[in-house]
Chains A and B, each alone.
Chain A
């Protein structure tokens, strides 16, 4: 009886995290802030679901598998969030008017000026200048 109550609370908590993600996707203004809503609440949401599953089945051999599920989610979520966020920033899929501080923009601007001064783009060393070229790519498009 008690375990049923705990399991229901955990499941409802997990479902609320999905709801948070949904509301965030609809309400947040631009790509990067939506990324927060879409990826993050699920870390806690999945943890709550897996805890509920462990309690409900009460089977010990299942628990390492559930731990693995959560660990692999912990490892992969930030990577996908980073890749989408980085691509979004570089292709300017963000609203700069919503940013109060942008310290990356200053760095990119400095890098572009420096590369232009040091060498014309077509003469730049392909290996040395690669990182800066990447940045330039992000700024120019």
Chain B
């Protein structure tokens, strides 16, 4: 099955990415490898049909870098925290399943937020309600409503970061409006 039409926003980043993967796998970024990779990427994108991803067409590299730095810091602190919980609390641990309502209805943003949340130790996406874009998270060591509220704030903060990185202009405007109100 081939695609209906060639879309610049969706296909070009995908082809460039696949060419990079090809070069990385061969550990060789010479012209020959890259051109062959480009041909293969083109064939793959055109013959193996995937559901289209709703890209917004914008990507803020600065927001991405600042999010990545924060993500790495969170990753280290949370990994140490889970280690510490495993050693000190162990069987006495109390957890919670917390619902987090997200602002965005874009599949990409919801998926990215879910991924980032799952990657940070201490929270795990158990269920996603796509209609209301609600994530249900299983969180380690949550015993009070305040802990749950803190968890929700963290997730919504990482969602805001993803909207700044690659959300649509409308979502970005809503986010700014919300920021100026509160």
Tell me if A103 and B124 are in contact (CB < 8 A): no
State which size class the interface on A falls in.
35 or more
Verify A41–B96 contact, CB threshold 8 A.
no
In the docked arrangement, what's the CA distance between A100 and B121, Å? 19
Are A61 and B86 in contact, with the CB atoms below 8 A? Answer: no
CB distance from B65 to the nearest CB of A (A): 15
A107 touches B99 (CB 8 A): yes
Picked from B28, B93, B115, the residue with its CB within 8 Å of the CB of A75 is B115
Query: In the bound complex, do residue B93 and residue A28 qualify as a contact, i.e. CB atoms below 8 Å apart?
Result: yes
Which parts of B77-131 form the interface with A (CB within 8 Å)? 78-79, 82-83, 85-87, 90-91, 93-99, 114-115, 118-122, 124-127, 129
Name which of A27, A40, A82, A102 has the most chain B CB atoms within 10 A of its CB.
Answer: A40
Q: Which residues of B contact A102 (CB under 8 A)?
A: 96-97
B122 & A36 in contact (Cβ 8 Å cutoff)? yes
Q: Are A78 and B119 in contact (CB under 8 A)?
A: yes
The answer, among B82, B95, B115, for a CB contact under 8 Å with A41, is: B82
Docked CA distance A19–B124 (Å): 20
> B40 at the A/B interface (Cβ < 8 Å)?
no
Q: Does A127 contact B (CB under 8 A)?
A: no
B145 touches which of A16, A37, A101 (Cβ 8 Å): A101
Report chain A residues within 8 Å CB of B27: 61-62, 64-65
Give 6 A-B contacts (CB < 8 Å), ordered by A residue.
A40-B122, A41-B83, A68-B24, A77-B119, A99-B96, A101-B148
Q: Give the B-binding residues of A (Cβ under 8 A).
A: 16-17, 19-20, 23-24, 27-29, 32-33, 35-37, 39-41, 43-45, 47, 61-62, 64-65, 67-68, 74-75, 77-78, 81-82, 85-86, 89, 98-105, 107
Interface residues of B (CB under 8 A from A): 20-21, 23-25, 27-29, 75-76, 78-79, 82-83, 85-87, 90-91, 93-99, 114-115, 118-122, 124-127, 129, 136, 138, 140, 142-145, 148
